[in-house]
Structures are given as structure tokens and as C-alpha cells.
Structure 1
Amino acid sequence: MNVEALREYCLQKKGVTEEFPFDEETLVFKVMGKMFALIPLERVPSQCNLKCDPDRALELREEYDGDIIPGYHMSKKHWNTMYLERLSPELIMELVDHSYDLVVAKMPKALREELKLLP
């Protein structure tokens, strides 16, 4: 999966915005203002950081040794960095969904309700 396809997939999700809050090279996706994906645009090979359940993060790092690693410049417990060209698009989309769902689940109830009302 290339960066543009990943970007399009993220933007299809309800309540998602994209921005560059850190610098001009790190694209960040947020749901209702909460970060769930980061793409360092200048990195080669292409990478993406996604939030992940801590137990699942360890399993993924073991199963995809070297292709999914602890989150670069992120909490190593809650974030993974993945190399986009080395993984299937289906797995990447599944992990984007997982990250998005984790972030939504941790939102205050009022924010989750507001998200549900979005078109």
C-alpha cells in the first residue's frame, strides 16, 4: 500500500481530519481531534505509526519481525511503526481500523455521541 492509498483510506473514516501539527513532513490523522495515525512523508521506505492494543502490538511485532516495530518516537507500549511496502494492504487497513477504534473507544461519551451523528 502506498502513502496516498493509506491517506485516502484514513480520510474515508467518520470524523477524520488530516494536519501537520509537528512539522511539514509528518502527516497526522485525527478522529474528533484525537490522533490515530502518523505518516512521516520523507521516510524511505514508507512508514506509518498506528495506535495498538499493547498485547496485540507485541504479537504483531513478533509475527511481522522487522516489518512492524515499536513506535518510532512514540510510546513503545501503545504505538507500532509499520513498513507499508512490506505488508499486505488488507493488514494495513485492519490495523488502521484497530487504531481508529481504540481512539474512539477512549473518547468521552459526549464526543462518541457527536461522532455518531456525523454524516
Structure 2
Amino acid sequence: MNGSDLHTTAAECAEELPGAQPEHPFGPDWEVYKVRGKVFMLMTDVPGRPVVILKADPGEAHALREQYSHITPGYHMNKKHWITLESGEGVDREFVRELVTDSYRLVVARLPEAQRPVDPHTYGTGPRAAR
């Protein structure tokens, strides 16, 4: 998967998520996706390389960074809770969709229950999740 495919796949996935909205609060070079006002994904280019920045469980984030050379600590974000994803070996459409959905679910889980557009504990875990 090349860099533009990375951004396209991540954006397509994010736009399918209930309540997700794209914004450009940092200018045209940053695309920020939020659910109920909370950020779950950022996309930009870091010295010419397209990247996607996602929220991740700290333990999972550490494991992902250990396993994939294309996953690094979150660019300009809390390094414990955010990861930066670049295109490369092992980074395919399904993997990107999984990471975007996981980031979304983590953010939704922290919203007050009445504001949650989905149940974060079950969303994306059924038979449709294996698209």
C-alpha cells in the first residue's frame, strides 16, 4: 500500500463510522477526524511521507511498535496513547481499517454513555468486522 492509498483507506473507514466528522482545525495540511468533538484520527504528511495518527491502548501501542517498523509513537501526540502509521510491508487495507476502528472505539468508550453513537464494546466486532 502506498501513502496516498493509506490516507484514502483511513479516510474511507473513518467516514463510515457513526458520528465521525472530518475537520481541518490546523489548516489544510491536517485532516482531523472526531466523534462527538473528540479526536480519534489525524492525517498529514511528515516530511513528504503520508501518515495516519491514531489512538491506541498503551499496551497494544507498544506491541504494534515492536512488531511493525511502520508504526512509531504518535507524532505531536502523547507517545503512550497514540501511534503513527506509515505505509509499508504488512500495512494493508484490512490492517488500516482495524486500527482506525480500534482508535474510534477507544475514544467512544471515554464519552458519556448518552453521547456514544455506538456501543464501543461490541461495535466492529461482529461478522461485518471481517470485511
C-alpha distance in 1 between matches for 2:110 and 2:98:
19
C-alpha distance in 2 between matches for 1:4 and 1:43:
19
How far 1:85 sits from its partner (Å)?
4.3
| Percent of aligned pairs sharing the same letter | 41
Which amino acid in 2 is paired with 1:73?
H
Q: CA RMSD in A?
A: 1.5
Task: Answer yes or no: is 1:56 the counterpart of 2:73.
Answer: no
C-alpha distance in 1 between matches for 2:47 and 2:38:
23
Q: CA 1:68/1:8 → structure 2, altered by over 3 Å: closer, same or farther?
A: same
Of residues 6, 12, 23, the one that matches 1:8 is 12
Structure 1 gap ranges (5+): none
Aligned residue in 2 for 1:31? 35
Aligned residue in 2 for 1:97? 101
Higher helix share: 1
User: For the Cα contact (< 8 Å) 1:27–1:41, is it kept in 2?
Assistant: no
Aligned residue in 1 for 2:72? 69
Matched pairs, number: 113
Of residues 76, 87, 94, the one that matches 1:84 is 87
How far 1:35 sits from its partner (Å)?
0.5
Task: Answer yes or no: is 1:110 the counterpart of 2:114.
Answer: yes
Structure 1 stretches of at least 4 aligned residues deviating more than 4 Å after TM superposition: none
C-alpha distance in 1 between matches for 2:19 and 2:57:
21
How far 1:4 sits from its partner (Å)?
2.1
How far 1:84 sits from its partner (Å)?
2.8
How far 1:43 sits from its partner (Å)?
4.9
- TM-score under structure 2 length normalisation: 0.80
- TM-score under structure 1 length normalisation: 0.87
